[in-house]
Structure 1
Amino acid sequence: MPHEPTFGGLLQSQGISRRAFLKFCSTTASLMALPAGIAPAMAEALASARRPSVIWLSFQECTGCTEALTRSSAPSIEALMFNFISLDYHHTLQAASGDAAEHAREQAQHENAGKYLVLVDGSVPLDEHCSTVAGISNLAMLKEACANAAAVINIGTCSAYGGIPMAKPNPTRAVAVGDIIKDKPIVNVPGCPPMPLAITGVIAQYLTLGRLPELDHLGRPVAFFGENIHDRCYRRPFYDRGEFAETFDDEGARKGWCLYKLGCKAPIAYNACAHIKWNNGVSFPIQSGHGCLGCSEPRFWDIGGVYESVATGNFGDSAKLGAAAVAGAAAGVGAAVLARRKKTELAAHEHSSD
């Protein structure tokens, strides 16, 4: 196998300064909730690291996960990361096709046995006739590729939890990657699509520190999925006051009131959308005027409807969460009514005093 240059050598050859590289490491450490002082050590480790082999498998998916990563603004962490890895196989991005493409995958698996990463987007159909690549079923290709992998990273909700292909009635018998692969470390980076920074952050930590990030009970990196969107949402004060948009074009909507009654799933969704945002930090769905779909959660498509509140959905513990949200909304409405009543009484008292 040809001698692979170090990551530091690649950056130097492309004219990327050490200052820019350190900034990249500091940003990555911050995103992954690592100590600030770790950035220099991360920079040293990355600079001397060989580019790891990455095999990216795409099964039942829409290519949105790849689009999210490649359409990020440049120069960016995402663009830098494409120099950081050796993307040896990717159905959409690879130049090779046919036998040459499959040979590249097989060669990468053989020459990097035990060291390569497998990234997967798309759910896996148990009906092996539903989706094939080069005549190989998705199920067979997944098992073969993961056999000698160091770790598996699921990109998007389809590979992490089954996503839209697994939605009722699930005609292809789609399942998540974790339902099949049980003997490898797995990280789920869900979202429809996922946030690019979450993808690159996971890869950077694994390759610099030699370990996967801390995960929650659903296998997601806590650094990106540890906070409830509702708690970080700038519309939260309106929720607490009981001020809700009733339609997408009413006065409340124009004033930026809470979208809970229009089906926003933020109270039961965990993701970094509200503080990292999309399009280089420009906005996120709620800021653009549409409620959260809860796309980072398992079975988000079957919760009862895009525009139905979580209280009437079927989303795991949503009965309890929905009841709590309704109670919170009721409390907010009650507080708003009491505040208006006190204001009215105070005005009446001042008028009678005059």
Structure 2
Amino acid sequence: MHSPALVTRLTEYGVSRRAFLKYCALVASILALPVSGIPALAEKLRQAARPAVIWLSFQECTGCTESLTRSYTPSIEELIFDLISLDYHHTLQAASGEAAEAARQETIQHHAGKYWLIVDGSIPTAADGVYSTIAGRTNLDMLREGVANAAIVIAVGSCAAFGGLAAAQPNPTGANSVAALMQAGLIATKPLVNLPGCPPLPMAISSLFAYLLAFERLPDLDALKRPLSIYGNSVHDRCSRYRYYAEEKFAKRFGDEGHRKGWCLYKLGCKGPVAHNACSLHQWNEGTSSPIEAGYPCIGCSEPDFWDKGSFYQSLDKAVQPVAPIGKTPDIAIETGQKLYTEHCVSCHAADPASFKTPAEDIPALLRSGSIRAHRRFELSDEQLDLLGKYFTAQQ
């Protein structure tokens, strides 16, 4: 059966023409469309039929669904659920058990080649995927079936896009992203859009829906298959604290004078310069704030492997020292250098410095020279720089 056009559904729910046009203007701004494109976007959405959507949740925390349901005005929450026909969703569906699975199968059969498949959560592959099952089937098996006849696949959240926290070392469940499974040939390759974030912005989800409905094609994507309209700039580029960065005014401890005055959080581990997202622009809680606005550094949750790049989680007991293997004496200098690298460097560099092109023995002198502007903010002593050098040498 052909789904009714969006404008018909909105009229039934009492959404006014003014509210609809206001929504179109907001979506157009998010998608970086010119003002002249608003009428065309509105007309396209008026004529759009609601696509069938299957939303699969695997190894996840339901945060992405929470983000979706907290979409804010102008009437975006209502519009999201009227833009699409959400036929299957573990959290939001009324049906359960056999009735829920029957609804999913019906959508796959009756809308083959046309439905959207949305995935949130990573997919475990270790031990034949037994770490997460639904209705007696592994996540991988269910995903393989859903992808086979999907028109488009949307990976919502960093778990589905990049593996997420479940894929953090040592990754006991063998957690994988949708893209990784496609590249490995474990599932069919289909048009894919990644919407990373832990969780992603509500506007990232709703604006993608609107774009797909209006233009019937994928938006411009970056190398990681993220929409450029949301992920094209770094958090740092649009940060409200950017002027303090330019003035080299940094908070050095939580609660110190700089922190209370709203200075740049870079020295507190902020990954804004290497994180690509629009949370500084669109913010959270009806546009009220963002983590940086609230005084906490960006953790780079929209980037791959952010969970293993340091300054995100630490041992609950810092006094506990790692135990060296039997017969091996721990090298305190190297361990200290590794700690310094984790605290000061991984915000911009790889977690493993073995890939550095500069010879390890030359790095301390390079840092002392002050020739690299980004490094001038660090206040490391000569002794600490020497310890870094020893760690680099051990890695290379």
TM-score, normalised relative to structure 2? 0.79
Cα displacement (A) at 1:305: 2.6
User: CA offsets, 1:235-266, max 9 Å, x none?
Assistant: 22222222221210111111111111111111
Question: Where do 1:191-270 residues align within 5 Å?
Answer: 191-270=197-276
Residue 302 in 1 paired to residue 308 in 2? yes
Structure 1 residue aligned with 2:27:
28
User: CA offsets, 1:216-239, max 9 Å, x none?
Assistant: 111100000011111211222222
Q: 1:191 to 1:256 in 2, by over 3 A?
A: same
| Amino acid in structure 1 at the alignment position of 2:191 | P
Residue 328 in 1 paired to residue 373 in 2? yes
1:284 is matched with which residue: 283, 286, 290? 290
Q: Distance in 1 between matches of 2:291 and 2:23?
A: 27
Q: 1:221 to 1:108 in 2, by over 3 A?
A: same
Contact 1:240–1:328 (8 Å) recurs in 2: no
Q: 1:237 to 1:125 in 2, by over 3 A?
A: same
Contact 1:115–1:149 (8 Å) recurs in 2: yes
Cα displacement (A) at 1:162: 0.3
Q: 1:46 to 1:326 in 2, by over 3 A?
A: farther
Contact 1:302–1:315 (8 Å) recurs in 2: no
User: CA offsets, 1:31-71, max 9 Å, x none?
Assistant: 11123222222222222222110100000000000001102
Q: Distance in 1 between matches of 2:245 and 2:343?
A: 13
Which stretch shifts more, 267-276 or 229-238? Answer: 229-238
| Amino acid in structure 1 at the alignment position of 2:120 | D
Structure 1 residue aligned with 2:330:
none
Q: Distance in 1 between matches of 2:70 and 2:229?
A: 23
Contact 1:262–1:309 (8 Å) recurs in 2: no
Q: Distance in 2 between matches of 1:282 and 1:53?
A: 33
Contact 2:55–2:117 (8 Å) recurs in 1: yes
Q: Distance in 2 between matches of 1:272 and 1:302?
A: 22
Structure 2 residue aligned with 1:138:
139
User: CA offsets, 1:274-316, max 9 Å, x none?
Assistant: 1111111111101101000000000000002327556145854
| Amino acid in structure 1 at the alignment position of 2:373 | G
Percent identity, aligned pairs only, is: 53
Task: Give the aligned CA root-mean-square deviation in angstroms.
Answer: 2.3
User: CA offsets, 1:167-188, max 9 Å, x none?
Assistant: 0000000010111235201000
User: CA offsets, 1:152-210, max 9 Å, x none?
Assistant: 11100000000101000000000101112352010000000000101111111111101
Q: Distance in 1 between matches of 2:74 and 2:36?
A: 24
Residue 159 in 1 paired to residue 204 in 2? no
Q: 1:279 to 1:310 in 2, by over 3 A?
A: farther
Cα displacement (A) at 1:333: 8.7
TM-score, normalised relative to structure 1? 0.88
Structure 1 residue aligned with 2:119:
120
1:311 is matched with which residue: 336, 345, 350? 345
User: CA offsets, 1:115-164, max 9 Å, x none?
Assistant: 11011100000021100010110000001001010101110000000010
Contact 2:308–2:351 (8 Å) recurs in 1: no
Structure 2 residue aligned with 1:89:
88
Q: Distance in 2 between matches of 1:217 and 1:309?
A: 28
Q: 1:327 to 1:286 in 2, by over 3 A?
A: farther
Question: Where do 1:42-121 residues align within 5 Å?
Answer: 42-121=41-120
Q: Distance in 2 between matches of 1:114 and 1:263?
A: 45
Contact 1:232–1:274 (8 Å) recurs in 2: yes
Contact 1:70–1:78 (8 Å) recurs in 2: yes
Contact 1:155–1:194 (8 Å) recurs in 2: yes
SS of equivalent to 2:345 = helix
Which stretch shifts more, 14-23 or 271-280? Answer: 14-23
Contact 2:123–2:160 (8 Å) recurs in 1: yes
SS of equivalent to 2:252 = coil
Contact 1:52–1:117 (8 Å) recurs in 2: yes
Q: Distance in 2 between matches of 1:41 and 1:32?
A: 13
Q: Distance in 1 between matches of 2:202 and 2:167?
A: 23
Contact 1:57–1:119 (8 Å) recurs in 2: yes
Structure 2 residue aligned with 1:350:
none
Q: 1:239 to 1:63 in 2, by over 3 A?
A: same
Cα displacement (A) at 1:270: 0.6
